[in-house]
Structure 1
């Protein structure tokens, strides 16, 4: 039986960075690639009264093939539920790897709202459409068998990534993600990202939103697409990124270094392209 003791027992929120909202996707709890401890460290040091989980939080695809559930994965869910008990509003947007949540959309369990998509009103009064985005990932939508094959390849890349990170630490090299790099190169070559981004922007226009926040393709980004702001939250398997809204209404991508715990806020597309 897993130990469900409070992993942050006795700790205070004093000194944590305060934000208006957090936007997090693709944690992939239930997989060996999930960087659960890094995510827990992020949650301890970044606080907000509203957290949006933008899909693929639990990877039911992987769990069906064999359960992998160490204590840190249990701690992730316990920590999120503890934030709810403290008064945090938690909105869970289902993705494709957690599509088992589909039938519960529109329901609330233990203070957690489960939705297919939702709208966040920013401090500037603008409407932000929030959805995982898999409905517009053309690789998933039209070639599901290919998506499963791609997922297998991505897991293999993550396995190599783990060993590269270990070697990098031994030689004092900075954190770098092979899986994120390969996914960026492959999807750029297939023109998937451009189609995905423009499809999400079009959906935002259709719903009357000025901005869209999504996950799914694991590539943190923040850019203007014509009259719509497009924001991708990244992931917590390769890149360790989250999106936050400051009290002033500014949106930032926080790139968390799991080796050092150093946070790097990014706000411009130029910085993001350089980091990729």
Structure 2
């Protein structure tokens, strides 16, 4: 397979150190890409999970070192810490080696669209339903990831590609959809108020591209359940992609070509 050349790639919510991190999928995706600029949009290393139980398997270590090596390959890497890697937020505006650290950033596409980039935990006060609802949500999400883990273990054993059962179930839950909508609206309001054409974020593990009130909302998803990224071509087209194979049958799913997969589309 020849490498795909992207002007820009946005990744978030990798959660290295968490047992549900799909490090092998992301490493496989990155090895198929040539990237001019890579944005790591928060929750790259899950310090919360590792504070409860330290785990750093070989595939996580391989991915971590590959990310560090990208600058030597000519890729500009910009890291925007989130809530799970919050200690790095104090280094806003500094460099870690050749990796730039920012809390938020402005990206201009090849077609002149000005995009605000941030992780998205900034909007938690506007989205949260209260302590009880948050606790219930966390418990239910952990259970969904448990189901997702074992469901996909069975799929791999039968030679089928990864598929996010957790994401499928979430889309059916009214409470989850309400939280996603509130989060999306908060993101769009900030981008509009600050004069941006769009916003790129992560945080809620729900990948999508939506145009609302004349503002592009691009959520790059995660590598815990969805294995998704936002990419920009050399001509400035933006699209949401999924990577669901780690064998020789590598396959890139472009949402614009598969509209039934998820509510997303390519944006010129």
TM-score (normalised: structure 1): 0.86
Which residue of 2 is the match for residue 79 of structure 1?
66
Which residue of 2 is the match for residue 105 of structure 1?
92
Moved more, 185-194 or 158-167: 185-194
Alignment of 1:202-241 (within 5 A): 202-241=189-228
Which residue of 2 is the match for residue 200 of structure 1?
187
Is 1:59 aligned with 2:67?
no
Which residue of 2 is the match for residue 267 of structure 1?
256
Post-superposition shift, 1:96? 1.3
* Contact kept? 2:42, 2:85, Cα under 8 Å: yes
Cα distance 1:170–1:74, how it changes in 2: closer, same or farther (>3 A)?
Answer: closer
Is 1:25 aligned with 2:12?
yes
Post-superposition shift, 1:76? 1.2
Tell me how far apart the structure 1 counterparts of residues 14 and 216 of structure 2 sit (CA, whole Å). 23
Cα distance 1:65–1:58, how it changes in 2: closer, same or farther (>3 A)?
Answer: same
* Contact kept? 2:127, 2:183, Cα under 8 Å: no
* Contact kept? 2:23, 2:60, Cα under 8 Å: yes
* Contact kept? 2:37, 2:75, Cα under 8 Å: yes
Post-superposition shift, 1:157? 2.0
* Contact kept? 1:187, 1:193, Cα under 8 Å: no
Tell me how far apart the structure 2 counterparts of residues 129 and 210 of structure 1 sit (CA, whole Å). 8
Which residue of 2 is the match for residue 121 of structure 1?
108
Cα distance 1:82–1:182, how it changes in 2: closer, same or farther (>3 A)?
Answer: same
Alignment of 1:148-227 (within 5 A): 150-171=137-158, 175-186=162-173, 189=176, 191-227=178-214
Alpha-carbon RMSD: 2.4
Alignment deviations for residues 51-81 of structure 1 (CA, whole Å, 9 cap, x no partner): 0011111111111101010011111111011
Post-superposition shift, 1:175? 3.4
Post-superposition shift, 1:264? 0.5
Structure 2 unaligned spans of 5+: none
Tell me how far apart the structure 1 counterparts of residues 165 and 91 of structure 2 sit (CA, whole Å). 35
* Contact kept? 1:135, 1:141, Cα under 8 Å: no
Moved more, 100-109 or 171-180: 171-180
* Contact kept? 1:240, 1:258, Cα under 8 Å: no
Tell me how far apart the structure 2 counterparts of residues 16 and 190 of structure 1 sit (CA, whole Å). 36
* Contact kept? 1:253, 1:266, Cα under 8 Å: yes
Cα distance 1:84–1:38, how it changes in 2: closer, same or farther (>3 A)?
Answer: same
Post-superposition shift, 1:84? 1.1
Cα distance 1:252–1:274, how it changes in 2: closer, same or farther (>3 A)?
Answer: closer
Tell me how far apart the structure 2 counterparts of residues 73 and 62 of structure 1 sit (CA, whole Å). 14
Structure 1 unaligned spans of 5+: 1-13
- Count of paired positions: 262
* Contact kept? 1:134, 1:141, Cα under 8 Å: no
Which residue of 2 is the match for residue 244 of structure 1?
231
Match of 1:134 among 118, 121, 124: 121
Alignment deviations for residues 29-69 of structure 1 (CA, whole Å, 9 cap, x no partner): 00110000100000000221100011111111111101010
TM-score (normalised: structure 2): 0.89
